[in-house]
Structure 1
């Protein structure tokens, strides 16, 4: 074995340090530049959000004419999705919602899906140097904090809702997820409650890790913007409309009653998980980036 010095790159993730500010930066600038070059998007015009509101994607938007079918055969749709997905998993929670949407059509993508995917590449072009910033003066308040949200009936094809959550350590994102729920929710409250259930499971795991690292031994706070879902986690009176989510109800209530996780109200404007569940206007999207400390990272 030999000492190679400070870690600088691992699995495509670049690690940079600022000793004066006591900060560590994680980014994938070189990896993103590589995939932009590979798929011919280096000269593309940049956009400010990963997905735009005018994209209404469904499984019915498949190639119909022979010309369209031949065109889509030459499109590396699955390769692009996989490449962008790796960036999302490692350092880019801002891509979670968009990746969740475009990956639903990998079996038979159409031109509309390809246009949405190219839009995402254009967003990467303009945000190539975005990365996660850890450390600095972000040592006050909760060590581990969670945000959870859902998009009710977000899937046009199945009307299943989207679950989204993101957890931060001293203000910077460390864990995030965006995926369709396994059942069709019958109300916004139920969709939010199912999302809370998934987030609570992740919260319990992170709480155990934080305790091992001596970061946080007390209750973990999970922020939700649905007052009705929060009431469901605390109220022991069953309502007719919630009997069918009985098991999830018992699990979350038991965790909350035991004091391991506390679920608190947060305004929709300050809910960082909002960008993981739906398409947002540019100003609100960039506010969520600030909440998670996803900033520009200077390249050497």
Structure 2
């Protein structure tokens, strides 16, 4: 792939991936598992912009098809064109902030939603994740609420870690969510008929808000930085999101 033509985005928003062989394609004989393993290391350590694309292709390790291998090669083509791109920590923002987002029923095989979150300090992300939720959500509100809960767990771990390093974390960490219904569900502990089926463990975020460790804020969808971790974005939106993350 050293002499390949670069791509502008790591995942094609117009080419969804399935596990089923809908086009009667032959099994892939390429080193699929090895390639995805290399990409996963890079996505976890220093390149959140490819996290969703790598997470998506990693779902087909057991039985990859030719279209899955083409998706892997597309990621390499994107990396070829962004060899000099990396995270820039400016040090201007000293407080910890977090973003959470969800793509409702984004997995076309299981119809489970995708959680994407990131935490940022010193001007750029320090932790990020993109993964399938463990349960099937019945609404966008539910999927966003679960994503916010998973983000709150990461935030609480980081707050404890920063305290051990000597940083004061008395100010509540801001968690930005772009779904108003999910925010209301966090703040309102009253009985909700349509959400009573949500597991008790997912209400942990309410406790974080009540004890002053976390505050949930609304952010417009166009400014949701975690959007890059939940779905394949068009080129213009992808580049805008990437630059907002100080991946320059």
* TM category, shorter: over 0.9
Q: Shift of residue 213 of structure 1?
A: 2.8
Give the TM-score, by structure 1 length.
0.79
Question: How far does the alpha carbon of each residue in 1:132-161 deviate from its partner, in whole angstroms, 9 at most, with x for none?
Answer: 1123xx424x51110100000000000000
Cα gap change, 1:132/1:228 in structure 2, threshold over 3 Å: closer, same or farther? same
For the pair 1:151 / 2:72, whether they are aligned, the reply is no
Q: Write the distance in 2 (CA, Å) between the matches of 1:214 and 1:144.
A: 14
Q: Shift of residue 245 of structure 1?
A: 1.1
Match of 2:245 among 292, 295, 298: 292
Q: Write the distance in 1 (CA, Å) between the matches of 2:168 and 2:18.
A: 44
Larger Rg: 1
Q: Write the distance in 2 (CA, Å) between the matches of 1:113 and 1:246.
A: 34
Match of 1:177 among 106, 123, 129: 129
Cα gap change, 1:262/1:131 in structure 2, threshold over 3 Å: closer, same or farther? same
Q: Write the distance in 2 (CA, Å) between the matches of 1:243 and 1:150.
A: 20
- Other-structure match for 1:264: 217
Question: How far does the alpha carbon of each residue in 1:92-127 deviate from its partner, in whole angstroms, 9 at most, with x for none?
Answer: 011110011100111111111111111111101101
**Unaligned stretches of 5+ residues in structure 1:** 1-40, 296-300
Cα gap change, 1:110/1:291 in structure 2, threshold over 3 Å: closer, same or farther? same
Match of 1:50 among 3, 6, 10: 10
| Number of residue pairs the alignment of both structures matches | 247
Higher relative contact order (CA 8 A, sep 6+): 2
Task: Judge which range, 248-257 or 174-183, deviates more.
Answer: 248-257
Runs of 4+ in 1 over 4 A off after TM superposition: 62-65
Root-mean-square deviation (CA, aligned residues, Å) is 1.5
Give the TM-score, by structure 2 length.
0.95
Task: Judge which range, 262-271 or 282-291, deviates more.
Answer: 282-291
Cα gap change, 1:84/1:249 in structure 2, threshold over 3 Å: closer, same or farther? closer
